[in-house]
Structure formats: C-alpha cells, structure tokens
Amino acid sequence: MDITTVRSYRVARTRDDLVLGAGEVVLAGGTWLMSEPQPQATGLVDLTGMGWTPLEIDTDGLRIAATCTIAELVAFARDAPAEWTAAAMIPDAANALLASFKIWNTATVGGNVCRAFAAGAMVSLCVALDAVAEVWGPAGARELAVADLVTGNGTTSLTPGEVLRGIRLPAHALRARAALRKIALAEHGRSGAVVTGRVDPNGASVFTITAATLRPTVSRFDSVPTAAALAAAVRAAPAYYSDPLGSADWRRGVSEALAEDIRRELA
C-alpha cells in the first residue's frame, strides 16, 4: 500500500538517529506498516541501517535483534545447539503466524512483538521462553519481560521515543522441554488460541496462553501441575475476548484442552 502522507525517509545508523521527529515512525520489515493506511506518518526511519547482528549466542542464551527476520530465526532453529531443545518450538511459533514464507523473509521478530496483536506469533514464542526485551529510549536503556511489554491487543508499555533493540531468550528456558499448540476456526485462519508449556531442567514448569487473551497469560508451577491445577489456572486467566474469529467461552474451552494435551506430553 502507498502511504501517501509520507514526505521523508532516512536510514538510522547511530543511536542518535533513533530520535524521532514529529510524524516520524520507525521502519523495520514494514509488513504491517505497509498493509493499511498510516495517516499519522509523515516520515520513515529505517532501523535496518543500524547493522544489528540478527542472532548472537553467549553463555546467557540467545540475543535476537529487533531487526532479525522471522526466516532468519527459523533457519537458526535448525542448527541450534543440541542442548537448546526448546528451539524446536521456533518453527511451530512461526507457523502460527498468518503469513506466507515471503512475509517471513521480510517481517521482523521485533516488529511482530511491538505490534503486540493478541495472535502475534513471536509474542507467543517470547512469552513461552521468558524473553526479556531490551528497550532504548531518550532516558537510556531498560529491560522488561516481553510478557509485560505487551499490555493488550495492539498495545505495549513502550513510551514515546522508545525503540526495541533486541530480545534475550535465557539459556535455562532454551534447555527446557517445550511444546506449543494452536487452534483456529479456519484451517488457515488467524490463531484463536496459542498455548505453550515447558519444563525447565530444575523441574519447574511454565504454561502460557496467547491469542485467546488480550494480553499474555503466564502460569508458573514448581513442577508439572496436576490436571485440576492447570485447568483452574487456565479458566482463571483474565481477558478472554470475543471477536468474529471466536467467542471468549470457546477460547477459554480450547485453551484448557490444549493446555491439558501439553501437560500430558511433558509429564
């Protein structure tokens, strides 16, 4: 789509270039930005000129640049360190995204997280693996859990002038046994519910719900929970919602069923 209000375009190459002028918006992959009218946008600031390394491995885990494409992350999963068993969930999360492989080669992980749609596939992945967002802003840098960055369907806790620099997946979560399940009313439709579960090396477990709720829901247990305990946690999750792609009651019911399926697998 042509954004007819845009009058300027510049490439950011240093951190100072990330200071936005009136009407400027950041551009990474641009797959959402170019998909609908943006009447407030009069200038584009291209983040790809920052030259951020897409993926970096260190002793703490994996650092994903905000400009890393979904295709690059999926390719990494195929050759991830053998002990990072949870990396096998990356392609499953990418396939939960309502997009073609061509979009994968352009859309960025950071863009999907910052768009913060309830059915955002990279949000599901990041929340499942305790991802931490690195945020750059006028006042300096800060870190927060991706689960807290996303505040609602299409809303985040980012303040004006803040830019997502990257996302860190901790090593302990990557070494977990993990599984992802999704469901949609149509075979190739947008996810109506995405549920993940993982069991860390210390035996603790984490179950998450996205797509079915307006913001991510995270439930933590000291071990794999009983069926009753998990079902209670899923039913108590806040902000199940209704739209043309599913009612709140349906989303709650299928989330409970998917969570139990994962619990049995991990147990």
For residue range 114-165, what is the model confidence (pLDDT) as tens digits?
999 998 999 999 999 999 999 999 889 999 999 999 999 999 999 989 999 9
Pair 210, 261 in one domain: yes
The mean per-residue pLDDT over the stretch 250-267 comes to: 98
Kindly state the tokens that stand for 109: 């992980």
**pLDDT greater than 70 at residue 264:** yes
- Residue 1 belongs to some domain of the structure: no
Instruction: Give the whole-angstrom CA distance, residue 113 versus residue 93.
Output: 13
Q: What is the pLDDT of residue 2?
A: 72
Per-residue pLDDT at 187: 74
What mean pLDDT is predicted for residues 235-242? 96
**The residue to which tokens 């939960």 are assigned:** 96
Nearest residue to 108 via CA among 28, 44, 25, 48: 28
Say if 3 falls within a structural domain: no
Domain limits for position 94: 55-172
Place of tokens 């800060």: 142
Percent of the chain with pLDDT over 70: 98
Domain boundary among 153, 172, 191: 172
Q: What is the CATH number of the domain that holds 199?
A: 3.30.390.50
62 and 166 co-located in one domain: yes
Residue 131's pLDDT is what?
A: 98
User: 63 lies in a domain?
Assistant: yes
Domain boundary (172, 202, 229) is at: 172
What is residue 1's predicted lDDT score, i.e. its pLDDT?
Answer: 56
Q: Is the pLDDT of residue 239 over 80?
A: yes
CATH number for the domain that contains residue 66: 3.30.465.10
Tokens 């994996």 correspond to what residue? 62
Answer with the residue of higher pLDDT: 39 or 192: 192
Mind listing the pLDDT tens digit for each residue in 18-32? 999 999 999 898 887
Same domain, 184 and 168: no
pTM of the model: 0.93
**Residue 11 above 90 pLDDT?**
yes
In a domain, 91, yes or no: yes
Q: Structurally, how many domains does the chain consist of? A: 3
* 167 and 177 both lie in a single domain: no
Q: Say yes or no: 243 and 194 in one domain.
A: yes
Please tell me whether residues 143 and 126 are part of one structural domain. yes
CA dihedral 235, 128, 155, 149 (to 10 degrees): 120
Whether 50 maps to a domain, the answer reads no
Residue 188 lies in a domain: yes
pLDDT for residue 99: 64
